[in-house]
Amino acid sequence: MQTSFDREQVEYLVRTYSDLIARISYTWFSNTSDVQDISQTVYLKLLTSRTQFDTVDQERAWIIRMTLNACKDLKKSFWRRRVSGFDENPEIAVAMPEFEDNPVLAAVQALPLKYRNAIYLHYYEGYQVQEIAAMTGEKPATVSAHLSRGRKKLRSMLGGEPYEQASIRV
């Protein structure tokens, strides 16, 4: 990857990764403005870094890792801890766009963050346990446990029985 980008390269990156960054960010915040902030942060890091990628898969994994890091940074930021959001103040809430009604996605959103990340990266993005472990900095056994516990929670949330596990596709 070059250190300076032309308009065509920037358009390619935005076209290719905007949806991915938004979906991952939305699993953390469920807030359009936070999703936009994360997207901007990730693109700035990508455009200003000197990182070179041998394959598209490496580039995609790097962007996922940067998105997760940006989400973590925003979540633990001083501003985020000290300021209440629109959710806590419904009288000043603005109309947020409605996302597609999907009971499985809603259930995934309701999972604790550690399970939500593993489920999302595995089922929605198609990554294997080893790849998720490398991206998140977790041990593969931990990722496997998060997947297993996340599936169990989803099954109970969606009203499935253990023998129905094969029919529940996230």
Tokens of 148: 């297993």
Taking the CB of residue 129, how many other CB atoms lie within 10 A of it?
A: 19
Q: Give yes or no for a contact between 92 and 121, defined as CB atoms under 8 angstroms apart.
A: no
- Own/partner long-range contacts of 65-68 (Cβ < 8 Å, ≥24 apart): 65/135, 66/42, 67/20, 67/21, 67/24, 67/25, 67/38, 67/42, 68/24, 68/117, 68/135, 68/136
DSSP state of 124: I
DSSP state of 8: H
Q: pLDDT 10s digit of each residue in the chain, 170 long? A: 444 566 787 788 888 888 888 888 888 877 788 888 888 888 888 878 767 788 888 888 888 989 988 988 888 876 555 554 444 444 433 333 344 566 777 788 788 888 888 888 888 888 899 988 888 888 999 999 999 999 998 888 888 765 454 554 54
Torsion of CA 13, 33, 26, 159, to 10 degrees: -150
